[in-house]
Structure 1
């Protein structure tokens, strides 16, 4: 089949320029605001909460010391001047306040079963979410720090080479997304009989997509150092994809294998009601 590529170039060029203009223009302002917000919530919320909880979870703590730390923790972050709202996650906030209510009930009842439930949720739900937010915020702020340190230590010609390869790699990845969308929509419109695109535009889009994917594969090799230095996750690639695309399905899958094992719960402080503080 002979395809006249020249008649499709204006459409493809307009689409690509508009998309790349968004990626490198308007999106930059949103990223700047996100960075500013992340710096604030990491400093004032995620970092202090994460380290306070980590200290509470230490096995070396005695029961009384652990309970006193829990008292101080819930009092600090449930008060009127609490910075906990800066976590910016309603689900995480709900988890904290629900756990706070349970802890208040425990302080009245001193029920050991309730203590075990509170501690399990504290360690495996609240702390897990705080730790995840702490890591994500840190990763967002410092993701490229190792890469920049690596590049800036090179001679000027090497810096130009590495930055050029990075730019091409990221640009081609953006083109992959745009052309994949063009293939999808032009193919759908063709199947539905809609004449929004030229007759064989989807074939042209498919060829461009194949070319850009091939270019991405070629650019992986000169960008190995960039990929390695900007990757901070220890999780497998498949799990990263699932977490990004289908987080709810992944959470349900993990839930099938998570059981509340109270064997590791530290001993409750056997407080006597007339004990002096």
Structure 2
């Protein structure tokens, strides 16, 4: 196919030898299958901020810092330079998270480089070598659903122990290769130690998993794995093989009203994004 303009710089730099086809296009990015020497990889082309539907809310940006004070001030003021820097921080967050998680043993695509707003990484494939399907497109029975749910909880724990929370985990950003689930789409990754809403984000990610797999294994609906995982994390006793129960004691502390309001707003934005992804899948 004809080389898209955004990929031309990577071709000129010798990072890509051939653009083979478009794999998918969403509101945040367009992904192409490319050839790099003898390797088949994918190139994720991030869309400009004004073309994306994902909300770069304070909840996602909190904890992300730039070392240069001039850059930080420009980002706060929203100048043209500041917006450019914010875009770079947004894009580099995914690259940084991928490297960090891969080192921690989390199943994610191997990243190679982020250049001119394009992330070059491994293409996740199924047993036949075709692009791997999303979790949402895979058939499950009761036992397989429980197996995948347990695997993904372990991935969430590995991520959390590496200091990372996905922040938008659902059946739409998990691929399934011949070995099992592969977690993708991490530009909104949250620093577990640097975000005031880390606990609620983690709980929402885990609840999304329970709701999806609960369609096939109803006993997962209403489980409290997210709260349980966070409590163990705070206590310093969380390990990937900890025997989770999905249950936690009822809270006795006063309710933090501001935190509840913030969680409701974040949930509203997530629901808008979930509906948008469903419509994309249907179109």
**TM-score bucket of the superposed structures, by smaller chain:** under 0.3
Query: In proportion to residue count, which structure has more helix?
Result: 1
Q: Relative contact order (C-alpha < 8 Å, sep 6+): which is higher?
A: 1
TM-score of the pair, normalised by structure 2: 0.20
Query: In proportion to residue count, which structure has more strand?
Result: 2
Structure showing greater Rg = 1
TM-score of the pair, normalised by structure 1: 0.20
